[in-house]
Structure 1
Amino acid sequence: LNQISEAKAINEIRTDVEAGLKPLIINISNDEYYDTIEEIRLIFPELVHHKAGEFVSTLYAELKSGQQLISAIEPWISSNENEAKNLKLIVNSIKSGTTALKLKYHLLINEDHKVFVNIVFLILGLPLHVVGVILNYLPYKVPEWLVNKKIKDPHFHSSIKMIGGSVTIFTYGLISSIIFGFVLGWNYGIIYFFCSPLLGLFSLKYWVLYLKTRGRIRYNLLRKKKDKKLTELLKLKEQLFTILKDLY
């Protein structure tokens, strides 16, 4: 009897916790279409944010828009089995096609991407990027290498890397600053201590911009060549947009 009461109490606590967490999480209950719904959120973030009344990409906007998408699409999937299967095929085709062309979803628009300003900035900022990499590569890579080697569960990788990276960058910067101070004078040591992490942050932003610009250039070249796979991708995205627009 006591065991039954304990099990009942645990189930009630679990139910209460789930009910309390539900407004704070994106809960996709349809296992069969879980990946499909998640990919739709990635393909059309601007659409779901618009429906949520949010145009700014914030965590709250992402949560709210995701919840509204799920509340609209899951009942539709249950009531429209054939259409839902077609939706799943379209999403899978967009995902595989985008991967095959080495593109990202946000690049799939019916016009060329502007890259001139980005290219000029990348050329002018290259020397600072190189310096930032030299000063910060070692403390940045050590935690990543240790985590990938020692931590088997990938779910913990990002958080541990972030914490470990912060510690190693600070420690490495402090030790390097002391060495600079002894060798070149304390003024140089202080300057190094504050400039090193700033240059590291600049290098990170620079690298992200480089990847985005490279993707835009690749997309523009494919579009200029009128690549058949890209043309098909754009048609599939338009089909998906039509379905979602009518859905909610």
Structure 2
Amino acid sequence: MKYEYSKGYEIVRFFERITLNLHYRKIVYKGTENINEDHPVIFASNHRNAVIDPFLLLNACKKEPVFLARADVFRKPTVAAIMKWLHIMPVYRIRDGVENLGNNNESFRLSGELLKKRIPMALYPEGRHNPKMSLLPVQKAISRIVLPIEASEDFTLNSEVIPVGVYYPDIFGFLSDAYVVFGKPIQVADYRKQYEENPNMAANSLRHDLENSMKRLIVNIWNDAFYDEYVWAIDWNAPQLVRGKYAGKQEDYLLASQEVVHTLDEMFHRDRPSFDTHIENFRRAESILKKHRLTSRDNVLKPASTVLIVLHLLLLIVSLPLAVFGFVNGIFPIIGYRKLLGLFKDDQFIPTVRVVSGMFIVPAFVVIQSLIVGLVFNGWWAFAYSFLMPATFYFACWWRKWAKSLARKWCVNRFVKKFPDSWRELTELIKINHS
């Protein structure tokens, strides 16, 4: 059968796991106790970050899950072959042409065979990529796959649909955080009676229950008219909650962001005048930040002192030679990354290109450059260099992040000292009361 266990797939997963953990400062998995791969399982996740989303899900699975992806990705034969090797099968949408919708029958039939063999399935039921902190309407694809399969087995397969929520506080950031939450599994057999009476109604019920479950797992800014203001509120208030109410919790920033959104939602529904006042305050705060070339991500509530900034600067200066060494030795991987990134117009692929570069481009140049060192000097130097080159390059990436952070701290420090009245006004405008 197609998509069976593959040693090559496991090798790719091994290197992908290492690279992903190097790409993110922290990856948090919650609710993994809800995964039982002895049952037929379909993972249903929100989709914000191109290939990074399936990579994160893949790392939580013991088995090799099969993913369903939009069919237009499979147009080129070479790409289609690679996708198949990576255990990805196509799903056709109306925008792919009504005449092609019949091709889904084969994908759905094969999905049934895989589930019967206890091979996990995974798809993104929103039907398309959505970089925003929100959930698009969930489509019926999962219902169309799993309900007929269960019906054909008299609802004895014990199939489960596991809702998954993925959250990135800084979706495009390097060395940032990622949160993956697995919700309580939805038992497909619970829809048996309804399916026997009205299959379409059962499909809608499953879709509706799945959508509600997914909403509880993510940071869901449904109020699109005020989307930017919600994001600013998270940037300003979530860090304070992380240091206070949620200190020590693994999923700290996720919980803090959810609380900010919940507080504003409650205000919108129960106290609209107060909500409108906060929105106006946020807009005023953003205008102050823009005027002084600051952003909502700058820590204006807890500005760094001049002493700390100077110490930070001294540490950067002391470590500069090592960072330069790392950048010089990583110049070819950097060029390769830039060239590869130029092939994509959508920002959603930035983290994906970084991870792919870390999986393939960086190791390739480690080997090439180590061989060159070995030819010029000797084997022991090549062996040492093969460890030194990636380690110093990775340190250089961290050094760059620290340098950028120092620059932002310095800007905030100058703003606080030069414009104390504006700073005090700003700190009042950005606060909200939490329940």
Structure-1-length-normalised TM-score? 0.83
Corresponding residue number in structure 2 for 1:94: 285
Letter aligned with residue 236 of structure 1:
L
Shift of the 54–141 alpha-carbon distance from structure 1 to 2, 3 Å rule, reads: farther
Letter aligned with residue 129 of structure 1:
A
Shift of the 137–107 alpha-carbon distance from structure 1 to 2, 3 Å rule, reads: farther
Letter aligned with residue 414 of structure 2:
L
Corresponding residue number in structure 2 for 1:145: 339
Letter aligned with residue 121 of structure 1:
L
Corresponding residue number in structure 2 for 1:122: 316
Cα drift, residue 80 of structure 1: 2.5
Q: Distance in 2 between matches of 1:91 and 1:38?
A: 10
Corresponding residue number in structure 2 for 1:231: 421
Shift of the 217–198 alpha-carbon distance from structure 1 to 2, 3 Å rule, reads: same
Letter aligned with residue 258 of structure 2:
Q
Is the Cα–Cα contact under 8 Å of residues 139 and 169 in structure 1 kept in the other structure? yes
Cα drift, residue 168 of structure 1: 0.5
Cα drift, residue 16 of structure 1: 2.8
Q: Distance in 1 between matches of 2:277 and 2:290?
A: 20
1:23-42 matches, within 5 Å, as 23-42=216-235
Shift of the 86–106 alpha-carbon distance from structure 1 to 2, 3 Å rule, reads: same
Q: Distance in 1 between matches of 2:359 and 2:413?
A: 38
3-state SS of 1:144 partner:
helix
Is the Cα–Cα contact under 8 Å of residues 132 and 199 in structure 1 kept in the other structure? yes
Shift of the 57–141 alpha-carbon distance from structure 1 to 2, 3 Å rule, reads: farther
Structure-2-length-normalised TM-score? 0.49
Letter aligned with residue 344 of structure 2:
I
Cα drift, residue 176 of structure 1: 0.7
Shift of the 48–90 alpha-carbon distance from structure 1 to 2, 3 Å rule, reads: same
Identity %: 20
Corresponding residue number in structure 1 for 2:20: none
Cα drift, residue 232 of structure 1: 1.8
Corresponding residue number in structure 1 for 2:264: 73
CA RMSD of aligned residues (A): 2.6
Shift of the 223–232 alpha-carbon distance from structure 1 to 2, 3 Å rule, reads: closer
Q: Distance in 2 between matches of 1:146 and 1:66?
A: 33
Shift of the 153–188 alpha-carbon distance from structure 1 to 2, 3 Å rule, reads: same
Is the Cα–Cα contact under 8 Å of residues 327 and 396 in structure 2 kept in the other structure? yes
Is the Cα–Cα contact under 8 Å of residues 28 and 70 in structure 1 kept in the other structure? yes
Corresponding residue number in structure 1 for 2:392: 199
Q: Distance in 1 between matches of 2:409 and 2:351?
A: 27
Cα drift, residue 178 of structure 1: 1.1
Cα drift, residue 49 of structure 1: 2.7
Shift of the 237–194 alpha-carbon distance from structure 1 to 2, 3 Å rule, reads: same
Is the Cα–Cα contact under 8 Å of residues 219 and 258 in structure 2 kept in the other structure? yes
Shift of the 233–82 alpha-carbon distance from structure 1 to 2, 3 Å rule, reads: farther
Is the Cα–Cα contact under 8 Å of residues 130 and 203 in structure 1 kept in the other structure? yes
Shift of the 141–231 alpha-carbon distance from structure 1 to 2, 3 Å rule, reads: farther
Cα drift, residue 186 of structure 1: 0.8
3-state SS of 1:44 partner:
helix
Corresponding residue number in structure 2 for 1:54: 246
Cα drift, residue 110 of structure 1: 6.4
Cα drift, residue 140 of structure 1: 2.6
Corresponding residue number in structure 2 for 1:211: 404
Letter aligned with residue 409 of structure 2:
R
Q: Distance in 2 between matches of 1:172 and 1:201?
A: 14
Deviation sequence 1:48-81 (CA, Å, 0-9, x none): 3357x321485x1122222222222202112332
Indicate the structure whose relative CO is greater, using CA pairs within 8 Å and at least 6 residues apart: 1
Letter aligned with residue 364 of structure 2:
T
Q: How many residues end up aligned between the 2 structures?
A: 236
Q: Distance in 2 between matches of 1:168 and 1:110?
A: 39
2:370 to 170, 177, 198: 177
Q: Which runs of 5+ in 2 are unaligned?
A: 1-197
Shift of the 69–222 alpha-carbon distance from structure 1 to 2, 3 Å rule, reads: closer
Cα drift, residue 25 of structure 1: 1.0
3-state SS of 1:74 partner:
helix
Is the Cα–Cα contact under 8 Å of residues 46 and 55 in structure 1 kept in the other structure? no
Is the Cα–Cα contact under 8 Å of residues 238 and 260 in structure 2 kept in the other structure? no
3-state SS of 2:330 partner:
helix
Deviation sequence 1:4-61 (CA, Å, 0-9, x none): x66545433321321332332111222222222221111122333357x321485x11
3-state SS of 2:225 partner:
coil
Greater per-residue strand proportion: 2
Q: Distance in 2 between matches of 1:220 and 1:63?
A: 28
Is the Cα–Cα contact under 8 Å of residues 177 and 192 in structure 1 kept in the other structure? yes
Corresponding residue number in structure 2 for 1:134: 328
